[in-house]
Structure formats: C-alpha cells, structure tokens
Amino acid sequence: MAFLIYKKTTIGDLLRFERVKPLKLSGVDGLIARHVKSLQGEAAASWKLSTSDLLQLAGVPPGATERTILFDLGGDAASVCLYELTGIHGSSRDTSTQLALDFTVVIDQEVDGDPAEHARKFGTAISAKPKLLGETLALTGGQCGGDWKWGETAMNLGVTVVQAQPAPHHHGGGEPCPNCTCGRRPAAVQQ
C-alpha cells in the first residue's frame, strides 16, 4: 500500500501514467502532519485537501497539471490495482486525525507479465463513467502531537464505500419517472 506521484498525460482517448516518486502522507514529517500543524484553532476540526494542494505540499510547482497521485493497493501476484486520489476530507483532534479519501479507479485488473513493472508505466482508456471509491483512514497524530502512524478509524466499518454508478436510465429509490418514457408509474398510495 503506497501513495505515489505519477506523470499523467492524455493522448486522444488514452491516459498514460508514468511513476515519478513516492509520496509520504504519514509520519511526523508527512504531508498530512505538516498540513494539520499549519492549521489554526477550529480550522483543524474540519478541513479539505485537493490533489493539487497535496502536490504543492510535496514540492510540485503550482500549475503542474500533468502530475497526479495514485494509491497502489498492492494487488496480488498477477494484478495491478491503482486508484487516483481526488481529494481528502479530514478532521483532526488532539492526537488523532480521521481521513475520508475520494478515489477514481484507474486500473484494477490482472495483467500479463510482472504487475510491478506494469504499474511503473502504463496506459488505459479514458472511461466515460469512471468507478468512484471512498475510503476512511486514520493517523495517530493531531494538533497536540503524536507519531502520525496509520491507525484504526473511529468508526471501523471494515468496508470500502463504492459510490453508486447509475445505469444510463436509473432513477434510484423507486421514484416515479414523469419526465421520460420508461413506463415507471408512481407507487400506489395506501390509505
């Protein structure tokens, strides 16, 4: 499991990724600790960081749009599992920080050859409807110190939240569909 900076380029309808270097989010000198320590008062209670904010904290010049952050889930011996980080929502207390991370799935599949070599430099088609994920993590550090190691979340659900990916004509929740021709009727009202 690692966070990595990648060079990301678009060529037609293909995305090309090339690993640049690791990104250190945890630890006393990690990016999250540096960010939280810079917050004043109540600002630490609820904060957000975009990918570009994290890249700037890591020393990547502002406006370097060809850089992104991928999370390497560390697939098995035959697969590659990389998610693109799109943002972090955080809440920091005295010695704990809870994180909610938003991701887009870049690649999650078996590959021919060495998965580690494939993950260094690869291409993938641009998805019209990318799969979105959310994950909660925690660090054992906050406004009053700590060691900033990965810890257990306050609410350990033991799950990853996969955001809904509606079909082209999905209304969800069983609502009637008055504005199209799908044939869905309002639910019968019981008296």
User: If DSSP codes are grouped into helix, strand and coil, which group holds residue 10?
Assistant: strand
**Domain assignments of the chain as residue spans, ordered by start:** 2-162
Six-digit token string for 75? 């697939």
Going by DSSP bridges, is the β-strand pair 47-50/79-92 parallel, antiparallel, or unpaired?
A: antiparallel
Quick: pLDDT tens for 59-69: 998 877 899 99
Residue with token string 């890591």: 58
Please tell me the predicted confidence (pLDDT) of residue 41: 85
Q: 166 or 151: which carries more pLDDT confidence?
A: 151
Mean of the per-residue pLDDT values of the chain: 83
Q: What is the mean pLDDT of residues 78-101?
A: 93
pTM confidence score: 0.77
